[in-house]
Amino acid sequence: MKSRFAFSRSNLPLLLAGAVTAISLVIVAVVMLAGSEPEKTAIPVAVRPPPAATAPDAEQKGADPIGDLIASLPEKSPHAAPPQDGLPTFEGEPAWKRYATATAIPGGTAVIAVVIDDVGLNRARTADVIALPAPVTLSFMPYGEDLQNQVDKARTLGHEVMLHLPMQPESDSEDPGPKALLVTLPPQELQDRVVWNMDRFSGYVGFNNHMGSKFTADQEGMGVVMREAARRGLMFLDSRTTPRSTGPASAARFGVPLLKRDIFIDNVATEAAVRAQLDKAAELARRRGAAIVIGHPHKATVAALHAWIPTLQDVTLVPITALLNRPAQEPAVAEGR
């Protein structure tokens, strides 16, 4: 036992030295590993490809040809302002004079103003109206596409231009379109919509109502419209979609020049029916001296006008502003829309 113990003590320094060396090697290895960047293992990530573009269904596209356009319209005009008390004013010449087409009318000649509503939505149909061989008045829908270019072309070729202002009809099943004027709108929202519609393009002499059998009967709402029209120097053509229209009284209150529609020419959209209505309008103009008719850019309407215009001898086709200086006449018929 003594000799084994003595042997162990004699070898203790060697054992300690070996332990120190082993510990040192471990420390060096740890330091080297800490100073080096561990290798990164690439982890595969599943990337979902974007959905393939789906072609719109032809039937659905045909059912809503202006849906994408309506969705892209700006929400609010930058010129929106709250209603103000007092009569509005404008500087310079009123719009109905500034953008009027100069027309020479022989004395004593009966005249007819043909207004074509709903233009600007179908460019080809609008181009057909612009190509008519006599001055007509094109009333553009405010939610059409590329309106200013179409307006400029129409004016260059001698036509006058109006805004076809969407208003609420009596029937809830009829849709007047986006940003239409409704009797249920709060005053500020109504004002914003009026300005939004009137800011969609420039160069027009005035406006007439699109539908509107319910809204035009609302005196308060029409007051908001006429205030803005007076501020811009616009005229108003009452489409007379209801006999209860407050448009004439509101226009008089704010000093807005007023005209009234006499005949709708294409409630029956066949060439023969349109031609019969145009002949009726010509006879009315001969009796009264003037008549105002409203139609739409139907193929039958444009074809009837192309055939009818060259036959006019004792009646002259004129832009809408040419009738402002003539005595006011009550319309022949008020028709609900």
**pLDDT (tens digit, 9 = 90+) per residue, 228-262?**
999 999 999 999 999 999 999 999 999 999 999 99
Has residue 97 been placed in a domain? Answer: no
Q: Average pLDDT, stretch 307-315?
A: 95
> What integer pLDDT is reported at residue 100 of this predicted model?
97
pLDDT at residue 56 is higher than 90:
no
* pLDDT for the residue numbered 74: 60
In this prediction, residue 13 has a pLDDT band, given cuts at 50, 70 and 90, of low
Distance CA 182, CA 194 (A): 11
Structural domain containing residue 269: 114-323
Check whether 215 has a pLDDT greater than 90: yes
- Average pLDDT of span 311-334: 80
Residues 6+ apart with CB under 8 A from 247: 209, 216, 222, 236, 238, 258
What is the C-alpha separation between 193 and 188, in angstroms, rounded? 9
In a domain, 238, yes or no: yes
Q: Where is average pLDDT lowest: 44-53, 136-145, 284-293, 314-323?
A: 44-53
pLDDT tens profile 73-121 = 566 544 444 444 444 455 689 999 999 998 878 778 899 999 999 999 9
Whether residue 33 has pLDDT greater than 90: no
What confidence score (pLDDT) does residue 66 get? 55
SS3 94: coil
pTM, two decimal places: 0.74
Question: What's the confidence (pLDDT) of residue 92?
Answer: 82
- The pair of structure tokens assigned to 316 is 């002259």
pLDDT at 3 over 60: no
Question: Rounded mean pLDDT of 41-70?
Answer: 43
As for how many domains the chain has, the answer is 1
Q: Distance from CA of residue 311 to its chain's centroid?
A: 36
In a domain? residue 217: yes
pLDDT at site 158: 96
Asked if the model's pLDDT at residue 51 lies above 70, the reply is no
Residue 168's contacts (CB-CB under 8 Å, 6 or more residues apart) are 176, 180, 181, 182, 183, 211, 212, 214, 215
Number of H helices, E strands in the chain: 12, 9
Which residues are registered as beta bridge partners of 208?
164, 237
**Cβ atoms within 10 Å of 9's Cβ, excluding its own:** 8
Residue 53 lies in a domain: no
Give the pLDDT band of residue 329 (cuts 50, 70, 90): low
CB 335 within 8 A of CB 267: yes
Residue 212 lies in a domain: yes
Tokens read off for 97: 């004079």
Residue 27 in tokens: 């420390």
What CA–CA distance (Å, rounded) separates 159 from 319? 7
Supply angle C-alpha 196, 140, 306, rounded to 5: 175
With a cut of 90, say whether residue 333 has pLDDT above it. no
In this predicted structure, the answer to whether residue 295 has a pLDDT above a threshold of 70 is: yes
159 belongs to a structural domain = yes
CATH number (domain holding residue 192): 3.20.20.370
DSSP of 217-249, one letter per residue? Answer: G-HHHHHHHHHHHHHHT-EEEE--S-TT--HHH
State mean pLDDT over 126-147. 97
Query: Can you tell me the mean pLDDT for 24-49?
Result: 45
Q: Is residue 250 part of a domain?
A: yes
Assess if residue 43 is contained within a domain.
no
